[in-house]
Structure 1
Amino acid sequence: MSRMSRRALLGSMAAASVPGLLTACSTGKDDGDTANAGKKLAPWPVYRAAPGAKPDLAPTEAGVQPGYTSYPADLSTSVKRTPGDGSTIRVMSVTFGTPPKGRADNRYWQAVEKALGVKVEFTVIPTDDYQKKMATVMADDPDALPDVINVFSGFQLPREAQFVQRRAEDLTPFLSGEAVAQYPNLANIPGHAWRDMGRIGGRIYGVPLERPLPGSTLWLNQGVFTDAGMREGWTSADFAAVAAKATGGKRYALGAGTGSVFGNAVHAAAHNAPSAWAVDGSGVFRANYTDERYKAAVAFQAELRGKGLYHPDAASMSTSDLTTLFLNGTVGSMQNGFGSYQTLYPDAEGLLTPAPALPYAVGGTPGGIVAARRSFGYTVLKAAKKERIQLLLRVLDFLAAPFGTKEWELIHYGVEGTHFTRGADGSPEANRLGEVENVTNLPFRYLAEGPQVLFVPGRPEAVRAIHAWQRKVVPVAIRDASFGLQSTTRTTQGTTLKALMDDTVTAVIAGRSPMSAYDTAVKTWRARGGDRMADELAKEHDATS
C-alpha cells in the first residue's frame, strides 16, 4: 500500500466517554428501533469481483489475502466517466496524519477533485478529537451535516446507530441486492465487510471500509526473539522463557501502548478466550470477561509484568513513542493492528526485521489470533434527493477502485512526476512533495476503499513472509460474534462498561490491584448492562442468522 508516516498508521485508539454524547441524538423515540430483530432484513449487496491484477500469492476463501511481490505493470481503468457534476460536496473523516495543506496550495487535493469532478470541502478530525467532534456533529442541526461522513470504528460512539438511522440516507434502494451493480467498485466489496458493518433496523445505511481478517498483532523484533530461543509451536512457558532471555540491560522484551491493556488482546486469543463475545450452538452469548480463559490470560500477563519483562511505561506510552522504542531496540515487541505492516517494514529497514508472532499454546491447546472486524468503520451520506445520493455514491465508487487501477494509484500516491517517481520494480516512491501531500494527511481512503491486498513497495520478501504467516494463523482466528449486530445497551452504555473493565484489567496486570478486583468488576459489569447486552445480541443473532 502507500507509504504513510509511522504516526499516521500506527496510532492506537482508546475508547473514552464524552460528556453530552449520550444524549446527542435523543429525540424521545424508541431506541430499540435500531434493532434488526423483528424487522424485514434488506438483502446484502450482490458481490461481483472487479477485474484486477492477478496476485503473485493466492488468497483463500478463509481469509488469506492476495499478495503482490511486485507492482502491476499495466494499470487498468475501473471508472469509465467522471463521477461528479461540478458541484461542491462536504466530507468529514478521521485522520492519523498532520493537517493537510489548503486546497489552493495542495496539488494532490486538486488532482483528486479533478478526477472526481467535484469540489471537495474536507474536514479532517485527529483521532484525539474524534469523539468530541462527533458529539457536536451528532447534536447539530441535520441541515448542517456534511454530505459524506466517515464513522470510524476505533471508538464506540454512544447512540451511534440511532444517529445514523435518524440523520443518514437509507442506502438500501441504491445498494441492496442487484442495485449495487450500478456501482461496480462498491459491488467489489466482499460480503464479509457488509456483514461486519451490519444493518440498522433491517436496512443498509453505510458503505464499509474492508479490512483483513487478522486484527491486533504482536509484532516482534525477529532477530532478538530468534536469538532468545523462539520457535514455531511454542507454549506459554516457552514464551515467558524467551521473553526473559530477551530482556536485559536497557532492553525489555515486551512493549505496549496506552489503551492496549498491556497488549491483552493477543494474549487472550492465545488462551483461546472469546474475542469480546462468543456464541454457542444454542445462540447464547458469552462475554470474554466471564470466561476463565480470559481471566487466565490476565493472570499470565500479570506474571510477565511481575518479572520485569514489560517496559515500565507500557500502560501509558503512546503508540508513536512505543514504535520509536521498538525501532531503536529498547523493546523487542509491540502490539498493533495487522495493517501497520505497511509502514513498519519500510521504517525498520536497516534497523531490524519485523515479524508477526505466531500464537503460543496453553495447556496443550494451540493458541488463536484476534480476528478483526472486517469493516474499518463505514461511510454514511446525509439524507438528500435521489440524484444527489447517486452522485455521492459515484464518488465513493471511484474512491473504492481496486489495487492495480489508475484510480487506486491516484488516491494512494498522487500524480506521477508530481508526488512520486517509480522504483526499479515500477512501484511508486513518494518524493518530497508526496511526503506532505498524500492520502494520509488528506484521507480520501477513509471515505471509501477497495479490498485490501498484501503489498509493500520494493519488498517482496516482506509480502512472502506475511502471506506465509497468514496461511498459518487465519484458520485459528477468533471472531467477535457481535460484529454486525445491534444492541441498545451497548450503544448507550458500552463505552462506560468497557472503560470499567479496561481500567480494572490494567490495574491487575500492573500489580496495583489483586485478582479479586477483577472478579468484583465482572459482577459490576454484568449488573450494569453486560447481561442485557448478551440477551440483546442473542436476539439479534437469531433474527439475522
Structure 2
Amino acid sequence: MPKNKACNDEFIQRVGREGSRLLKGNVLILLCVFLIFFAAGCSGPNPAEEDSPPENQPKSASINIVISSLGMTFPAGMDENDNPYLNYIEERTGLEIGVNLPPPEVYNEKLDVIMSSGNLPDMLHTYEPVWFDNYVKQKAFMPLDELIDKYGPHLREKIPPEVWDRVRYDGKIYAVPSLNEVTGAELMYARKDWLDRLGLKPPETLEEYYEVIRAFTLDDPDGNGLQDTIGLTLTSKLGRSSPFFGAFGTQRNMWFERDGQLVNGNILPETKETLAFFAKLYQENLLDREFPLNLQNNLFEKIENGTVGLFSAAWYDTRGPIAANMNKDPEAEWIPLPYPTGPSGFKGVEGKDIIRGYNVIPASSENAAEVIKMLDFIASDYKTLKLGFENEIWKWEDGEIVTDFTLHDKHLYRGIYQSLVDVPDELLFKERLDSLGDFNLYNNLQMINHHIIPNAFYGVPTPAMTKYNNKLKNLEDVFTKIIMGLEPLDAFDDYVKTWKEEGGDEITKEVNEWYAKP
C-alpha cells in the first residue's frame, strides 16, 4: 500500500460522494496534482484498510441500464444518475453507469417498447418471469455462463444452485436473478383503541372479522359522532386481499393440488366464495367504496388520517402509514391480528417466489462483462448498499446497529441499485430490522413465515403462459365487477369457462406435465 493511501482514500471518498462526476478530464488532472501535495501532510497507512476494495478506479467503460425506481424519490439536487450510492458503485467498479428509470406505473410496457426499438441498453431488469421467458425464446438475450464464471465469483457464491436452475434454458444461464428477502408480504393489523372503545376482542374467525368490520364502519369507533370511518379497505385489482382469499384456502394466480392434479387458484370454487364475501361487504357499505381506484398512496393517506382501522398491511407498514397515524393521533394503537380463519378452517397468506427479479443482457451488448462486474460488486457489498454508509447512516454501538433514521429515510433510493441483486444476509437481517426502531418488523415477518400458502408450480413459464398470460390477466377485471355488484356472482362461472377456452386449459396441461416429471 502506498504510504499515504489511508489519508488519500478518506479525502477521495468524501469528494466522490459529494461530486464524483466532477472528477473528469482536466479537473481530474488538477485534482491528482492537489492530492500529491495533500498526501505530504498525512500519516502512514491504516492496516485495517489493506483488504478494502480499490476506490476511484479509472473508468474502464460506460454501460447503460434500465431498472425500476421502485416508487423511490431522490433528495433535492440528486437523481438516478447522480447520487452518493450510484457514485460509490462507479468508484468501486471503475464504470460509468447510465441509468434509465421508466415510470413504475407503465414499467412493463416501457420494457417492451425498448426491446422493439432497436436501440438497446446493456442491461434490463424485469420482475415478470413470463416477460423474461418470452424474450429468451426469441434469442433476445445473451447466455451468461462464461461471463459469470470469469467476472461473477460473488454471484456464484451467494445465489443458490437451485435458483440458477430457474434461469437456465437448454443448459445456459440467461439472467442474473435477484432473490426475495421475505417469503410473504401481508398480515392483518387493526386499531386496538377502536376495538377497546367498542368492547370488541381481536377477531380470529372470518365471522368475527365481519363483525369488527361492521362495527368499525357503523358504530363510530373514533368517537367523533360522525359516520366517517371505513371498516375495510383494499387497493385496485384486489390488492391487500390475500389473507381473505387464504381464509377460503385459495390465492389468486397460484397453483394448488387437487386430486393429484394442479389447478389454478383463479378458477377454484373457493375463489368464488371469497368474492361473495367481499360482495356482501360492499353491498352493506362495509368495504371502501373507492377501493377499485385506490393506489398505495391513497391507502396510506386513509390510514394516516384515521379513516381506516383494519386492513391487510405489508410487513413494513408499521414503520410507514401505521406509524404516521400514531404520530398524528396519540390515542391510536395498532396491533397485529391472527389471520382470518375461514368456514373450513383455512387461513394463510400468499407466498412469494424465491426470485424477485431478473437482470438480462441483450444479445447485442458490447459491454456484457462490465454489467456482470457491476452486478457482482452489488452482490459483494450487500451491507453498504442495504444499510447505507457505515458511520454515516448507521454504526455499531455495544454490538448493535444504531441507525440515523433521518438519513436512512433520505437515502432509501439506494434500494433501487441494491435490489438488482438482492442476496439476503441472514446474519444482518434481524439486526438491520431491529435497528430501524420499535416497529415489530422482524416479528411481522415471523408471523408471515408461519402462515405461508406456497405455490405448487415453481417451474419456468410454460409456452402457453407466454402466449396467453396477458389475455387471461385482463379477464380478472370481472372479480372487481362482481364485488361491486356490476356483475352477478354467477359471472364467475362464465369467467372460468372463458379462462379455460382462452388458453387456461392449455396452460394447465403444461403445468401438470411439469408436475408429473420426477
TM-score clears 0.5: yes
Deviation at 1:139, TM superposition (A): 1.0
The residue that corresponds to 1:207 in the other structure is 176
d(CA) in 2 for partners of 1:384 and 1:81? 30
Match runs of 1:440-519 below 5 Å:
440=413, 443-451=416-424, 453-454=429-430, 455-456=432-433, 458-463=435-440, 466-501=441-476, 503-519=477-493
The residue correspondences of 1:232-243 to structure 2 (distance < 5 A) are 234-243=204-213
1:26-50 alpha-carbon deviations (Å, 9 max, x no partner): xxxxxxxxxxxxxxxxxxxxxxxxx
Give the partner amino acid of 1:235.
T
Alpha-carbon separation, structure 1, partners of 2:324 and 2:178: 25
After TM superposition, give the deviation of residue 532 of structure 1 in Å.
Answer: 0.8
Deviation at 1:366, TM superposition (A): 3.8
Q: What fraction of aligned residue pairs are identical, expressed as a percent?
A: 18
Matches within 5 A, 1:153-168: 153=128, 160-165=132-137, 166-168=139-141
Match of 1:54 in 2: none
The Cα offsets for residues 63-105 of structure 1, whole Å up to 9 and x where unpaired, read as xxxxxxxxxxxx9999855699631111110111236835786
| 2:338 is equivalent to residue 358 of structure 1 | yes
Q: Distance in 1 between matches of 2:58 and 2:359?
A: 18
Alignment length, in residue pairs?
448
CA contact under 8 A between 1:489 and 1:529: conserved in structure 2? yes
TM-superposed deviation, 1:481: 2.4
Partners of 1:170 and 1:203 within 8 A in 2: yes
Write the letter of the residue equivalent to 1:243: I
> Which amino acid letter does the alignment assign opposite residue 146 of structure 1?
P
The alpha carbon displacement at 1:234 in A equals 1.3
Q: Which residue of 2 aligns with 1:392?
A: 371
Q: Which amino acid aligns with 1:398?
A: F
Q: CA RMSD in A?
A: 3.6
1:270–1:368 Cα contact (<8 Å) kept: yes
Higher relative contact order, chain-length normalized (CA < 8 Å, sep 6+): 1
Q: Which residue of 2 aligns with 1:300?
A: 277
Matched, 1:373 2:346: no
The unaligned stretches of length 5 or more in structure 2 are: 1-47, 219-226
Correspondence for 1:259 among 224, 237, 244: 237
Aligned residues of 2:230 and 2:288 also touching (Cα < 8 A): yes
**What residue is the counterpart of 1:18 in the other structure?**
none
- Structure 1 residues 281, 363: CA separation in 2 closer, same or farther (over 3 Å shift)? closer
Distance in 1 (alpha carbons) for counterparts of 2:97 and 2:292: 40
Distance between the aligned counterparts of 1:245 and 1:86, measured in 2?
64
Larger radius of gyration: 2
Q: 1:140 aligns with which of 109, 117, 132?
A: 117
Could you tell me how far 1:182 is from its partner in structure 2? 5.0
Distance of aligned partners of 1:180 and 1:460 in 2 relative to their CA distance in 1, 3 Å threshold: farther
> Aligned pair 1:334/2:304, yes or no?
no
Q: CA deviation at 1:130?
A: 0.9
Report deviation, 1:161.
Answer: 1.3
Are residues 1:224 and 2:194 paired?
yes
Give the Cα–Cα distance (whole angstroms) in 1 for the partners of residues 230 and 50 of structure 2: 49
**Structure 1 residues 238, 214: closer, same or farther in 2, change over 3 A?**
same
**CA 361–229 in structure 1, closer or farther in 2 if over 3 Å, else same:** farther
Give the structure-1-normalised TM-score: 0.71
Residues 124 and 360, structure 2, Cα contact 8 Å, conserved in 1: yes
Whose helix proportion is higher, 1 or 2?
2
Please report how far the alpha carbon of residue 341 of structure 1 lies from its aligned counterpart in structure 2 after TM superposition: 5.2
Contact 1:193 1:375 in 2 (8 A): yes
Deviates more, 1:248-257 or 1:280-289: 280-289
In structure 2, relative to structure 1, the CA distance for the partners of 1:279 and 1:258 (3 Å cut) is closer
Unaligned residue ranges in structure 1 (runs of 5+): 1-74
Q: Quick one: structure 1 residues 486 and 132, their matched pair in 2 at CA, closer, same or farther if it must change by over 3 Å? A: closer
Measure the CA separation in 1 of the matches of 2:415 and 2:447.
Answer: 36
Q: Distance in 1 between matches of 2:49 and 2:334?
A: 33
- The answer (yes or no) to whether the contact 1:88–1:121 under 8 Å persists in 2 is yes
Deviations 1:288-312 (A, max 9, x none): 1221222111111111222222122
Distance in structure 2 (CA, Å) of the matches to 1:296 and 1:429:
47
Q: Does the 8 Å contact 1:230/1:242 carry over to 2?
A: yes
